[in-house]
Amino acid sequence: MTEIVGEPKSRWKHRRRMAYASMVGLFVAVLFLGLFAVLGPDEVFDRLSKVGMILSTILFGLVSIVGAYVGFATLDDMNKDKTR
């Protein structure tokens, strides 16, 4: 069984890294797609519109990871205050 031991900073370290990596991935994906939509030729824009459903699913997954981290970190802070 997993025990909750150690300092909170080290306890949330890997979750925080995963959330930061997802946030960076979101920014890179949006920047990449935005630049292609504005600067790319029409053929690229047509391809992006065809795979839009897949891209929106990937972006939704990345946003979900960041939202889950923020939500569970807040829940942990609330529970920590109750135990004191």
Domain assignment present for 70:
yes
For position 83, what pLDDT does the model report?
Answer: 66
The domain in which residue 68 lies consists of 13-79
User: pLDDT, tens digit, for every residue of 1-53?
Assistant: 455 555 666 777 888 888 889 999 989 988 887 777 777 777 766 777 777 77
| Number of independent structural domains in the chain | 1
Residue 5 falls inside a structural domain: no
Q: Percentage helix, strand, coil, to 5, in the chain?
A: 85, 0, 15
- Note the pLDDT of residue 60: 92
Which pTM does this prediction carry?
A: 0.67
Beta-carbon contacts of 63 under 8 Å, excluding residues fewer than 6 positions away, are 22, 26
Pairwise CA distance, residues 45 & 68, whole Å: 32
How many contiguous H segments (helices) and E segments (strands) does the chain have? 4, 0
pLDDT digits (tens, 9 = 90+) for 61-82: 999 999 999 888 888 878 876 6
Is position 8 within any domain?
no
Q: Which of 59, 7, 69 is nearest to 32 (CA)?
A: 59
